[in-house]
């Protein structure tokens, strides 16, 4: 298996199905020093270093907003200004540092593995910097790109990777896994998460789920004024997500008689609700920008179809 390994894999699929966990497990297999096994042995030095989170031959390349990136600052990095906000993009400096990483010899005499996640969070300059390493990969270097939206990647990046689509897991298996995690109403949360078990777990056990519940209750009560009064920027994403999924459910109910997300929506004008769902998708991309939360919430609700 290792002799036929491509230098770059693109693992892609919807968020919340475990793509990053799959990439990490594969990286662990590559640095496992039991060369005969099809699974990491869990006993060798390579496995122990990985499990400790500090294997020298594995590098994560992620936006600063992800906690692991903030904790793993490289020695010699310039200190951040006190008022500097963590970036939600993968910076070009990270891609350049990755070039230095893959071109040095392995600490353990095996592979050097770079995990880029989410790969679509690279801007064009960063992607072009990574592309140089993908075009002329050094021996023993493996790139694992994890992407929720591979269409956002440069075509030249995609063309140099072996595409590995990661499917949504079987609903019965995912529901059983959620139940084993102690999740109540596992089927309902899994449905709202579009079948993605990790996202369903986040919804069922975290603040995001509580925010979603509040929006669903407000929508069910028809209290648009209360929803339009959103003051907190953190509440905008749950609002936009619920409105988008509700719109899709209303369109699906009209076209097929069934809903996908279990939002409680009834059938409506399919064309109007599909158009509204697309507009909510655009609004979800605007939430990152410093817009007035109250005005953005009011605009989202004002465009809701009447039937």
| 18 backbone φψ class: left, alpha, beta (φ>0; ψ -120 to 50) | left
CA 178 to chain centre: 19
Last residue of one domain, picked from the residues 165, 195, 220: 165
pLDDT digits 0-9 by tens, 19-32 = 999 999 999 999 99
Same domain, 38 and 161: yes
The token pair that represents 266 in the structure block: 């009834």
Parent domain of 156:
2-165
Beta bridge partners of 236: none
What's the pLDDT score for residue 183? 92
Helix (H) and strand (E) counts in the chain: 14, 5
Same domain, 215 and 159: no
In a domain, 85, yes or no: yes
Mean pLDDT of the region 275-287 = 89
Instruction: Give me the chain's average pLDDT, please.
Output: 87
CATH number at residue 107: 3.40.50.300
- Taking the complete model, does pTM exceed 0.85, yes or no? no
Question: What span, in angstroms and rounded, lies between the C-alpha atoms of 32 and 29?
Answer: 5
Domain count of the chain?
2
pLDDT digits 0-9 by tens, 171-210 = 999 999 999 999 988 999 999 999 999 999 999 988 888 8
In a domain, 175, yes or no: no
């Amino acid at each position: 298996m290792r002799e036929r390994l491509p230098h770059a894999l693109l693992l892609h699929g919807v968020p919340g199905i475990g793509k990053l966990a799959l990439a990490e497990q594969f990286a662990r297999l590559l640095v496992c020093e039991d060369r005969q096994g099809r699974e990491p042995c869990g006993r060798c030095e390579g496995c122990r270093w990985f499990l400790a989170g500090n294997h020298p031959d594995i590098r994560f390349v992620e936006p600063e907003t992800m906690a692991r990136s903030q904790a793993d600052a490289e020695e010699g990095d310039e200190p951040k200004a006190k008022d500097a906000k963590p970036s939600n993009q993968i910076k070009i400096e990270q891609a350049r540092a990755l070039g230095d990483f893959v071109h040095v010899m392995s600490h353990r005499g095996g592979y050097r593995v770079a995990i880029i996640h989410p790969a679509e969070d690279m801007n064009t300059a960063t992607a072009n910097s990574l592309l140089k390493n993908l075009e002329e990969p050094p021996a023993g270097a493996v790139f694992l790109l994890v992407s929720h939206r591979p269409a956002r990647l440069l075509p030249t990046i995609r063309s140099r990777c072996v595409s590995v689509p990661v499917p949504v897991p079987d609903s019965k298996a995912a529901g059983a896994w959620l139940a084993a995690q102690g999740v109540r109403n596992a089927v309902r949360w899994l449905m709202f998460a579009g079948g993605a078990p990790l996202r369903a777990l986040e919804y069922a056990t975290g603040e995001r789920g509580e925010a979603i519940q509040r929006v669903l209750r407000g929508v069910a009560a028809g209290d648009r004024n209360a929803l339009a009064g959103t003051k907190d920027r953190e509440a905008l994403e749950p609002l936009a997500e619920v409105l988008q999924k509700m719109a899709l459910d209303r369109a699906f109910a009209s076209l097929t008689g069934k809903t996908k997300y279990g939002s409680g929506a009834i059938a409506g004008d399919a064309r109007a609700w599909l158009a509204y769902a697309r507009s909510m998708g655009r609004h979800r991309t605007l939430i990152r920008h410093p817009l007035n939360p109250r005005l953005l919430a009011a605009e989202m609700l004002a465009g809701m179809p009447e039937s």
